[in-house]
Amino acid sequence: MSYNTLDLKTASPILSWAGHDLAPKETQMAKNVASLPFVYKHVALMPDVHLGKGALVGSVIATKDAVIPAAVGVDVGCGMAALKMPFHGDQLERKLKKIRLEIEEAIPVGFDENKEIEKNVTNWLGWQHFKDLHKGVQNLDKKAIKQLGSLGGGNHFIELCLDTDNQVWLMLHSGSRGIGNQLAQCHISTAKNLAKLTEIKLPDPDLSYFVAGTPEFEAYWRDLQWAQDYARMNREIMMARFKHIVEKNIAGGKLTKPILSVNCHHNYAEKEHHFGEDVYVTRKGAVRARENDYGIIPGSMGAKSYIVKGKGCAESFCSCAHGAGRLMSRTQAKKHFSLDDLIQQTEGVECRKDYKILDEIPGAYKPIEQVMNQQSDLVEIVATLKQVMCVKG
């Protein structure tokens, strides 16, 4: 096994696949979570673990009869999608810039939203339950419809990749957009207010929680599942547009059948069965990796990415890392690196090379090979990818 049990005095043990010592603030955050009375068995830290809010990004928290909204986070259902296409790299020659510009035209990024609404957006069955969501988002129905099929900002991206056999892959990273964020904020606020009213002593207010069986828990769990479904659908709609653009440029618009399709969350919570019991599992920056589960572990915009298959490691609650993990904050990256650094580190990748994406420079992230080396007991590598085109949010 490639994990260590941290030498910390906590109510529940902390198992770490990180392969390095945690920084003081990271250690305290891990201890805070492991001190909660409803944590089940232990806390599992993935190789890409780093500071988050309330709980570390790259942590897997199994709980009995309780969930922590801030541990799931505000980008509910954030995750990855990928398609292995029946195309080869030589078919992309002299077409990458055109494909990138068409993607940027077809898929809104940042704060932008869709100007025209497709039928598969308006026909999504999830809209039938919108009226049941938290009253704090009832005025966001039109915005939610317009944002379904949009990328967002930050570290979200769309990439065209090649594997070691020169096979073409489509890959993207996004979540539940503004509606998921707002739902999470509403419930995090409710949890914090509830903790104050009941005078629950917590090591961090961001660890305020809901107890199963209460109206607050039921409301959060309902909204959480809806937002996770929205996030998955968001990726499906963008991927369909992405696929159409690539088919148009490579195959004259002829529809093609993907060789492999993967769509997985890495910021979410589900009810699962572990060590003989039903528990709630929160993966904050972690991917489910049950035996034969397919997952996606991206590097930075200048590094390799991996398609993996889970090994079902019980100690990790059948989980693995979700990416390279940041080495420095966005502010630090902008201070430390120059535009020339960005151009150099993204050499050979068709992408924007401007100050607006400087905080996403590859040097701001951990080496993805290091992350992969620390989780050989969690996943097997199915494909190794290298991007040739990248669209950032």
Q: Is 50 annotated as a binding residue?
A: no
Q: Tokens 């005025």 sit at which residue?
A: 139
Q: Is 20 annotated as a binding residue?
A: no
Encoded tokens for 98: 């055109």
User: How many angstroms separate the CA atoms of 331 and 64, rounded?
Assistant: 38
Q: Is 173 flagged in the annotation as binding?
A: yes
Is residue 187 annotated as part of the catalytic site, yes or no? no
Instruction: Please name every residue paired with 326 in a beta bridge, in sequence order, or none if there are none.
Output: 365
Annotation-wise, does 106 bind a ligand?
no
Determine if residue 338 is labeled as part of a ligand binding site: no
Find out whether 158 is annotated in a ligand binding site: yes
392 annotated among ligand-binding-site residues? yes
130 in a known ligand binding site = no
Is residue 336 marked as binding?
no
Instruction: Give yes or no for a contact between 50 and 126, defined as CB atoms under 8 angstroms apart.
Output: no
Both tokens assigned to 20: 């390095």
Q: Is 75 annotated as a binding residue?
A: yes
Ligand-binding site membership of 32 (annotated): no
Q: 159 labelled as ligand-binding?
A: yes
Establish whether 266 is an annotated binding residue.
Answer: yes
Out of 134, 244, 322, 336, pick the active-site residue: 322
Task: Name the residues annotated as catalytic.
Answer: 322
Q: Which residues are annotated as a binding site?
A: 75, 155-159, 173, 266-267, 298-301, 305, 322-325, 392
User: Which residues belong to the annotated binding site for Mn(2+)?
Assistant: 75, 156, 173, 266
Annotated binding site for GMP: 155-159, 266-267, 298-301, 305, 322-325, 392
